[in-house]
Amino acid sequence: MDGLLDVIPERGDRLLPALSAFLAVGAFPPFHLLIPSFVALVPVAVWVADQNRGTASFRVFQGGVWFGMLYFGLLLYWMPLALAAFTWWAFPAYLSVVLVLAMGAGGFTWALYRLREGGVPLWVALPLTWTALEWLRAHAPGDLAFPWLGLGTSLTGYPELVGAAELVGARGITLWLALLNGLLAEVVLAARTRDGLRASVRWAVAFALVLSGPAAWGYWRAGTLSIRAIGEVVVVQPNIAAQIRLDGARSNDSTVVSLSRLLPEGGGRSPDLVVWPEMTFLGPIESDAALRARVQAAAEPWNAPVVFGAIGETRTPGRDPIPLNSAFLTNRDGRLVDFRYDKHRLVPLVESLPFQPGAWGEGGRVDSYGNGADWSLGSLGNDARFGVLVCYESTYAGHSRRLRLEGADFFVNITNDGWFGREPWYTRTAGLWQHPAHLVMRAIEHRVGIARAANTGFSLFVDPLGRTYGQTELFRPAAQRETIYTSDVRTWYTRTGDVAGWAAVLLTLGLVAMPRLRLVMAPRLRRAAARD
């Protein structure tokens, strides 16, 4: 405990980092306030800029850790609530995740201070260091990767504003927002100088120019992008409670009953696709003939192809089958077609056990699944193809990009967000709103439509402009039918990937290293000069 308290800064160094943390949380769902996205990093940046040269690096690091503990602790408060049904490790895991992320935030303030100490202007240093931190968090090895809610995603409630994501991706929007925060921080610093008013006006003009360019592009694109309808899609929300889903047989029985009640009335044109949620049926459908028969009986009355989640298996001679969190597709008579997509990105402590498989789950409810490896696409009768994002995969920008490059015309997101809360309003956590926000960015990045089927909600649609529609109510059975759209545009981001992210990492590392390189080389240069 004493070691943990050592990272909490002194009283005078707590206020501004804490203010940044609270503002940043307000920018994300369910609050989705507009202004905090542009000002949240200003207090902590000003605090770093106010540190005198020669300040102990640990003091700057402490301020960043304090900011990170508050920011990530509040943003992810739902984690122990969501994981508690699986394992008693839920609360320790939450504390560990928050502490690791807070250490990363400490690295951000330390790097920001080093760049400032090396003469890099604040308005340049802030976007580079913050974007680098976000990229590193999303690209950490294995189960350590955590791309949840980058700063750019905070503006998904205003999709026209972030239309430039088709050029630079969500990370590029993060870079833009952090740059705007840096310019406002310069306004604050300039206001305290002798020529304060004039200098502040110059920085404010720069802020307005940097804000207007990408924003104008987004609004222009929203009015000019040509989109086309692909077909009619029904997203189905069975609303099977989390406590029921812990019992596979009971969950399957409840699902069959709920699906039968949601069948459309007779007459009318059949949809082009029906989407059921992640793990609609809990069982190895390929090896369980009785379960396949139940699926066929439930799917056939829809008179449409049905994509749904169940357990797939990887079979190796001489070894036990490895379960997979998979998506399957039926034809119009309910029979399985030759399509299976296996989830690549597993949720740590829920679908996989980090570092030591099996060691943490003894006596708990953690299931260990294998990772998918293929990039299978489903197909509609009109030759349109779709890629499946299973649950957490919607947060990985590179994953959606790969599916688009493989030829997906739109995405289908199947998920079960029932662990984020229950029907009573006071049990509902922010995770229910945070998770689908990522889909807005995925739609804009590739200018495609998305259909989302969630067991308990929100089920919804997103068009290629990032606008959501057809959203269901939480914790209510529903079958929502809407037109799905796409565009024929192959966006710059689809073609080039996350240039903004890795460029920020390289520049940050290079600029941090340069002053240290000069310190290392200076004695050698002096000795060489003396010899000459």
Report the b/e string of 440-454 with b at 16+ CB within 10 A: bbbbbbbbbbbbbbb
Does 511 fall in a domain? yes
Does 7 fall in a domain? yes
Do the bridges between strand 227-237 and strand 460-462 make them parallel or antiparallel, or are there none, so unpaired? unpaired
Give the residue among 238, 389, 381 at the shortest CA–CA distance from 327: 389
- Is the predicted pLDDT of residue 63 greater than 80, yes or no? yes
- 285 shares its domain with 416: yes
342 CB-near residues (< 8 Å, 6+ apart): 312, 314, 324, 325, 326, 370, 371, 372, 373, 374
Give the residue among 469, 404, 415, 480 at the shortest CA–CA distance from 442: 404
pLDDT-derived band at 363, boundaries 50, 70, 90: very low
Domain that holds residue 120: 2-224+498-522
What's the pLDDT at 480? Answer: 97
Residue of 514 and 298 predicted with greater confidence: 298
- 43 shares its domain with 159: yes
Helix, strand or coil for residue 513? helix
CATH of the domain at 328: 3.60.110.10
- Is the predicted pLDDT of residue 83 greater than 90, yes or no? no
Does 445 fall in a domain? yes
What's the pLDDT at 2? Answer: 47
Residue of 362 and 417 predicted with greater confidence: 417
Nearest-5° Cα angle at 415, 414 to 416: 145
Average pLDDT of span 374-391: 92
What's the pLDDT at 366? Answer: 45
Sign for the pseudo-dihedral over CA of 334, 335, 341, 345: positive
Average pLDDT of span 491-514: 94
What predicted TM-score, i.e. pTM, was given to this entire model?
A: 0.92
- 90 shares its domain with 170: yes
What six digits make up the tokens of 424?
A: 């009573």
Supply the mean pLDDT for the chain.
Answer: 89
How confident is the model over 247-267, as pLDDT tens digits?
Answer: 878 999 999 999 999 998 766
How confident is the model over 464-483, as pLDDT tens digits?
Answer: 999 999 999 999 999 999 99
- 110 shares its domain with 214: yes
Average pLDDT of span 195-221: 93
How confident is the model over 294-315, as pLDDT tens digits?
Answer: 999 999 999 999 999 999 998 7
Q: What percent of the chain has pLDDT over 70?
A: 90
What's the pLDDT at 109? Answer: 96
- 312 shares its domain with 234: yes
463 CB-near residues (< 8 Å, 6+ apart): 227, 443, 449, 469, 485
Does 303 fall in a domain? yes
- Is the predicted pLDDT of residue 171 greater than 70, yes or no? yes
- 7 shares its domain with 103: yes
Q: How far apart are CA 23 and CA 16, in angstroms?
A: 11
What's the pLDDT at 382? Answer: 75
How confident is the model over 116-156, as pLDDT tens digits?
Answer: 888 899 999 999 999 999 999 999 987 788 999 999 999 99
Helix, strand or coil for residue 353? coil
pLDDT-derived band at 361, boundaries 50, 70, 90: very low
Does 529 fall in a domain? no
- Is the predicted pLDDT of residue 440 greater than 50, yes or no? yes
What's the pLDDT at 118? Answer: 85
How confident is the model over 275-301, as pLDDT tens digits?
Answer: 999 999 999 999 999 999 999 999 999
Distances (CA, A) of 483 to 72, 187, 262, 331, 463: 37, 47, 19, 20, 9
- 156 shares its domain with 248: no
332 CB-near residues (< 8 Å, 6+ apart): 270, 300, 303, 304, 305
List the 468-469 sheet strands across, edge first.
Answer: 378-379, 385-390, 410-415, 449-454, 460-462, 468-469
Average pLDDT of span 34-40: 97
- 370 shares its domain with 297: yes
- Is the predicted pLDDT of residue 321 greater than 90, yes or no? no
Does 395 fall in a domain? yes
The 3-class SS string of 460-474 reads EEECCCCCEECCCCC
Distances (CA, A) of 131 to 37, 126, 139, 175, 276: 14, 8, 12, 6, 36
Does 389 fall in a domain? yes
- Is the predicted pLDDT of residue 81 greater than 80, yes or no? yes
- Is the predicted pLDDT of residue 108 greater than 90, yes or no? yes
Query: What does 356-385 look like in DSSP terms, one character per residue?
Result: STTTS-TTS-----PPP-----EE-TTS-E
- 171 shares its domain with 280: no
Average pLDDT of span 374-398: 93
Does 163 fall in a domain? yes
**Between 57-75 and 15-27, two packed helices, what is the crossing angle to 10 degrees?**
30
CB 302 within 8 A of CB 271: yes
Average pLDDT of span 179-194: 93
What six digits make up the tokens of 519?
A: 């310190």
- Is the predicted pLDDT of residue 530 greater than 70, yes or no? no
- Is the predicted pLDDT of residue 1 greater than 70, yes or no? no
- 181 shares its domain with 252: no
- 356 shares its domain with 216: no
- 12 shares its domain with 131: yes
Please state the domain count of the chain: 2
Strands (E) in 171-265, as ranges, are: 227-237
Backbone angles phi, psi at 238, to 5 degrees: -70, -30
- Scanning the structure block, which residue is given the tokens 């994953």? 399
What's the pLDDT at 336? Answer: 95
Give the residue among 292, 287, 289 at the shortest CA–CA distance from 308: 292
Strands (E) in 306-430, as ranges, are: 306-314, 322-330, 336-342, 378-379, 385-390, 410-415
